[in-house]
Amino acid sequence: MGAAIRYHHHGRRGRRVHGGLAVAAAVAAAASLGTVAPAATAERAAAARASRAAATVKINSAKAEGKTKTAIVNVTYTCTDANGLGADVALGSSVAHGAIAPTCDGKAKTTDIRSSAKYTVLRKGDKVTVTATLVKYDLFASVNVVNPQSHIQAQDSKAMTLA
């Protein structure tokens, strides 16, 4: 293989694994393809950027619902084509999750999202991190319908004390 470019990495058990010119050429080709996109992909990317620019989300407040595993997160959002709005309340290593289907017509809306934890009780006065996310799930771009591709359109995160 004389003057051929050699590509190597450390495989299992720390042994050096060699690939020939074909591996190096494949790596170089893959790297160069990232800069050239087909027209359909470029159009989808432009549409996604435009919808993200029109999307906003802001956390207004978060309060514990008594001595339960649930917190109510109040958010204001604007969107044109998102199909998921979620709120997470993190207390230590425990996270309460909640989600709704937003109404996206380009107008600002305020809503409450119930976020529930599996084990942790959320109480008034707990110091938490709240994150709200507007998402566009693309069910048809993914082969895996159980875990579809998602694109974050807007996100807000705040450290706060539960009311």
pLDDT in tens, 79-105: 999 999 999 999 999 999 999 999 999
Bridge partners, 98 (sequence order) = 87
- Provide the CATH number for the domain around residue 85: 2.60.40
pLDDT at 88: 97
> Alpha-carbon Rg of the chain, whole angstroms?
23
The pLDDT value recorded for residue 20 is 42
Residue 93 lies in a domain: yes
Helix (H, G, I), strand (E, B) or coil at 146: coil
Burial class from Cβ neighbours inside 10 Å (0-12, 13-18, 19+) for residue 110 reads: exposed
Is the model's pLDDT at 46 over the cut of 90?
Answer: no
Number of domains observed in the structure of the chain: 1
Q: In angstroms, how far is CA 46 from the centroid of its own chain?
A: 19
User: Would you state the pLDDT for residue 161?
Assistant: 97
> Domain of 97?
55-161
Instruction: Give the Cα separation of 116 and 89 in Å (integer).
Output: 8
Maximum CA extent, the chain: 74
Distances from the Cα of 106 to the Cαs of 29, 78, 133, 135, in angstroms?
Answer: 41, 6, 16, 15
Residue 2 within a domain: no
pLDDT digits (tens, 9 = 90+) for 124-161: 999 999 999 999 987 666 555 566 677 899 999 999 99
Which tokens in the block code for residue 25?
Answer: 């050429």
Give residue 66's pLDDT band: very low, low, confident or very high (50, 70, 90): confident
